[in-house]
Amino acid sequence: MNAQTIKQRFGIIGNSPGLNRAIEVAVQVAPTDLSVLITGESGVGKEVFPQIIHAYSSRKHGTYIAVNCGAIPEGTIDSELFGHEKGSFTGAYDSRKGYFEVANGGTIFLDEVAELPLSTQVRLLRVLETGEFLRVGSSKIIKTNVRVIAATNVDIPHAIAENKFREDLFYRLNTVPIQIPPLRLRREDINLLFRKFAVDFAERNRMPAISLTDDARTILEKYSWPGNIRQLKNIAEQISVIETNRVIDGIAMRQYLPDYSEEKLPALYHRETVDQKTFNSERELLYKILFDMKNDMTDLKKLVHDIIERGGVDADLHSTNAKIIQKLYRDEPAIVEDEVPKHTFNINTSQSDIIQDTEEIVEESLSLEEKEKEFILKALAKHGGRRKNAADELGISERTLYRKIKEYDIN
């Protein structure tokens, strides 16, 4: 089966490696009944690939139905997909078959599948696993033999993390993934597509087709095309209608791409995209810094105490101690005994003249593991042993908390 033949049959323009790979996977999976999830940005042409899969499958003589899940209101989506019984809701004057019943023996394409409500996702999962479903308002199980192909421009793992999409449904749909590359990764195809759209529009409207100068073609190739092929087609048609000069140069092209810039600016960093793992790493780093500060303070207390124990206090001693403290806070190497000037200590000072430090030096445990265990115990005690609440308090997942409890043998 020649890839060029497939492109001609379905009107696909381009020769980029990413596009060719997507077509190759679609043809390979077509003879099977596996579920397929097509992903890609809005406007990349995802709707063509389910048609390829259906046309080269054993179901090619069966019904093919394409459903835009985002265009159907949430209150009627179950009825549209699975049908309903008479009187099941207000306005249900007759029984009606749903798409899964009508497409029995064929293929159903669920475009923008991530827009489905969670309750509908549960019904869809049952169809995929058992081939069974219930009409709205009915208790009679209906069998169907439908191949499901889904598509979305949403980052499904991110939607799962936000509890907007079921993880089990994702794995059931994603049996064979097909990724459609965006237009900015198909720069060698941009001018081919533009010329195709311009010629088609000119033929339909009986006008001369526009052509581009070299600098106009360069601008097209450098543009990021956030709207992908859909945006490129709109630009081609706009220019065909508006421009009286049928040769378009770079100056004219820039007027239709107001956000065009030859400079590639760095991508903005969005704080909300930082995942929980990064947050936990920052938390641990903060704990370590706090523990190091405690360690420095303990060392400082010990050092000052030793100096006072060894000699009397005079002006020179005060000056030396000030220098020691300054060095400690500048993170300079620790001062050893030889660095302290001998003349600052009065060896003949009587015991009664020595200033005694009445503060008891208590050795604190600075083990990160022990501090972590201490925090876990405090959180559990605060929330009466409820792990979920304790995990929220600590800023970690319940699974991580359970693992830590086992690791530290906490009862």
Query: Other C-beta atoms within 10 Å of 23: how many?
Result: 21
pLDDT of 344 above 60 = no
Residue listed under structure tokens 């499958």: 57
Q: Which of 26, 325, 315 is nearest to 149 (CA)?
A: 26
- How far CA 209 is from CA of 192, 257, 406, in Å, comes to 14, 20, 72
CB of 77 within 8 A of CB of 116? Answer: yes
pLDDT of 325 above 80 = no
The average pLDDT across 14-34 equals 95
First to last CA, the chain: 65
Predicted pLDDT of residue 90: 81
Predicted pLDDT of residue 410: 82
38: confidence class by pLDDT, cuts 50, 70, 90: very high
Predicted pLDDT of residue 89: 82
Predicted pLDDT of residue 213: 95
152: tokens are 């979305």
Look at domain 368-407 and name its CATH class.
mainly alpha
Predicted pLDDT of residue 357: 47
pLDDT of 172 above 80 = yes
The average pLDDT across 199-218 equals 94
Least confident of 31-45, 182-196, 309-323, 360-374: 309-323
User: What are the residues whose beta carbons fall under 8 Å from the beta carbon of 18, sequence distance 6 or more?
Assistant: 179, 180, 181, 185, 186
User: How many angstroms separate the CA atoms of 202 and 213, rounded?
Assistant: 18
What CATH superfamily classification does 3-181 receive? P-loop containing nucleotide triphosphate hydrolases (3.40.50.300)
pLDDT of 311 above 90 = no
| Domains in the chain: boundaries | 3-181, 184-255, 279-353, 368-407
The verdict on pTM exceeding 0.85 is: no
Taking each helix axis from N to C end, the angle separating 3-10 and 48-55, rounded to the nearest 10 degrees, works out to 120
Q: Which of 117, 29, 133 is nearest to 76 (CA)?
A: 117
> In CATH, what is the architecture of 184-255?
Orthogonal Bundle (1.10)
pLDDT of 222 above 80 = yes
Query: Other C-beta atoms within 10 Å of 20: how many?
Result: 14
Nearest 10 degrees: Cα torsion 246, 249, 251, 255 = 50
- How far CA 270 is from CA of 158, 161, 267, 275, 308, in Å, comes to 14, 17, 9, 11, 53
Predicted pLDDT of residue 287: 62
User: How many angstroms separate the CA atoms of 182 and 97, rounded?
Assistant: 37
Exposure on the CB side of residue 54, measured as CA atoms within 13 A? 24
Give long-range contacts, CB 8 A cutoff, 24+ apart: 85-91: 85/135, 85/136, 85/137, 85/138, 87/137, 88/135, 88/136, 88/137, 88/138, 89/136, 89/137
Predicted pLDDT of residue 286: 67
- How far CA 52 is from CA of 3, 22, 255, 309, in Å, comes to 11, 11, 37, 88
More confident call, 403 vs 122:
122
The average pLDDT across 341-363 equals 46
Residue listed under structure tokens 């956030």: 226
Least confident of 128-137, 229-238, 242-251, 255-264: 255-264
User: How many angstroms separate the CA atoms of 100 and 79, rounded?
Assistant: 11
Predicted pLDDT of residue 338: 46
Give yes or no on whether 184-255 and 368-407 have one common fold: no
Q: Which of 2-16, 256-270, 282-296 has the highest mean pLDDT?
A: 2-16
Exposure on the CB side of residue 184, measured as CA atoms within 13 A? 10
Reported residue count of the chain is 411
Question: What are the tens digits of pLDDT across the range 139-169?
Answer: 999 999 999 999 999 999 999 999 999 999 9
On average, the pLDDT of the chain sits at 82
370: tokens are 């022990």
pLDDT of 393 above 60 = yes
355: confidence class by pLDDT, cuts 50, 70, 90: very low
Predicted pLDDT of residue 269: 42
Question: What are the tens digits of pLDDT across the range 266-301?
Answer: 444 444 444 444 455 555 666 667 767 777 777 777
